[in-house]
């Protein structure tokens, strides 16, 4: 998952270009979902840090932009769906989001995030994911205002619940 691709007219990169970059790296079965930096591929078993560095370097070379990359293996995505702490508590996919972090969040930052919760904006950090139940949507939420990446200094990329479900199908 690439951060900030084709969102709000910023960092416009065609998915065909990204798929070609991934294929040139030797990845197989490269597929994308919608136009926002969701790619799936098959790869030899490599340490995640090396894989991320390889992809980020290739993207910067091919498209001239530095783009943060978050990687999850297919079984991890299914576990994320299965472990949703807000399962059954949201009306539609626009209320539910998952933030994918590159590294674990320190305890003090988890506590800081929890202290900002309201009845309409709830968060649960599990492993390298932040589950966000945003009853009123993203626009006026902490996520929408950049609190998580700016105040908590967490490197994240966000996906709504439907997108997370679709990533399983890739």
Residues 88 and 25 in one domain: no
pLDDT band at 3 (very low <50, low <70, confident <90, very high): confident
pLDDT band at 8 (very low <50, low <70, confident <90, very high): low
| CB of 134 closer than 8 Å to CB of 120 | yes
pTM for the whole thing? Answer: 0.91
Angstrom CA distances, 55 to 4, 16, 67, 125, 159, stand at 15, 15, 9, 26, 20
Residues 83 and 159 in one domain: yes
pLDDT band at 6 (very low <50, low <70, confident <90, very high): low
Residues 88 and 47 in one domain: no
Q: Domain containing 28: what range?
A: 1-71
Phi, psi values for residue 99, rounded to 5°: -105, 125
Instruction: Mark residue 162 as left, alpha or beta (left: phi above 0; alpha: psi -120 to 50; beta: remaining).
Output: alpha
Query: pLDDT tens across 126-163, in order?
Result: 999 999 999 998 988 988 888 988 889 888 999 999 99
- N-to-C CA span, the chain: 12
Output the domain CATH number for residue 24.
3.30.70.1280
Residues 134 and 122 in one domain: yes
Mean pLDDT within 60-76: 91
Residue 85: is its pLDDT beyond 90? yes
Query: pLDDT tens across 35-50, in order?
Result: 888 999 999 999 999 9
Task: Indicate the SS3 state at residue 119.
Answer: coil
Report helix angle 161-169 to 74-82, nearest 10: 140
Spatial separation of the C-alpha atoms in residues 17 and 142, rounded to whole Å: 32
Residues 24 and 102 in one domain: no
Domain boundary among 71, 101, 122: 71
pLDDT at 7: 62
Phi, psi values for residue 5, rounded to 5°: -85, 130
Residues 20 and 102 in one domain: no
Residues 88 and 145 in one domain: yes
pLDDT at 58: 96
| CB of 25 closer than 8 Å to CB of 58 | yes
Residues 82 and 158 in one domain: yes
Output the domain CATH number for residue 89.
3.30.70
Domain boundary among 71, 99, 124: 71
| Neighbour count for residue 32 (Cβ, 10 Å) | 17
| Domain total in the chain | 2
Query: pLDDT tens across 9-20, in order?
Result: 567 788 899 999
Domain boundary among 9, 38, 71: 71
């Amino acid at each position: 998952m690439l951060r900030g691709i084709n969102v709000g007219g910023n960092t416009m990169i065609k998915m065909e270009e990204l798929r070609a970059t991934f294929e040139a790296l030797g990845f197989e079965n490269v597929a994308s979902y919608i136009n926002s930096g969701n790619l799936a591929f098959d790869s030899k078993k490599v340490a995640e840090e090396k894989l991320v560095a390889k992809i980020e370097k290739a993207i910067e070379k091919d498209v001239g932009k530095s783009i943060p990359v978050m990687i999850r293996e297919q079984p991890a995505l299914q576990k994320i769906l299965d472990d949703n702490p807000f399962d059954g508590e949201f009306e539609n996919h626009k209320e539910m989001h998952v933030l994918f972090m590159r590294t674990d969040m320190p305890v003090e930052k988890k506590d800081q995030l929890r202290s900002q919760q309201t009845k309409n904006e709830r968060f649960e950090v599990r492993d390298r994911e932040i589950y966000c139940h945003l009853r009123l949507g993203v626009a006026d939420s902490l996520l929408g205002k950049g609190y998580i990446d700016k105040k908590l200094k967490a490197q994240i990329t966000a996906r709504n619940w439907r997108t997370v479900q679709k990533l399983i199908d890739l």
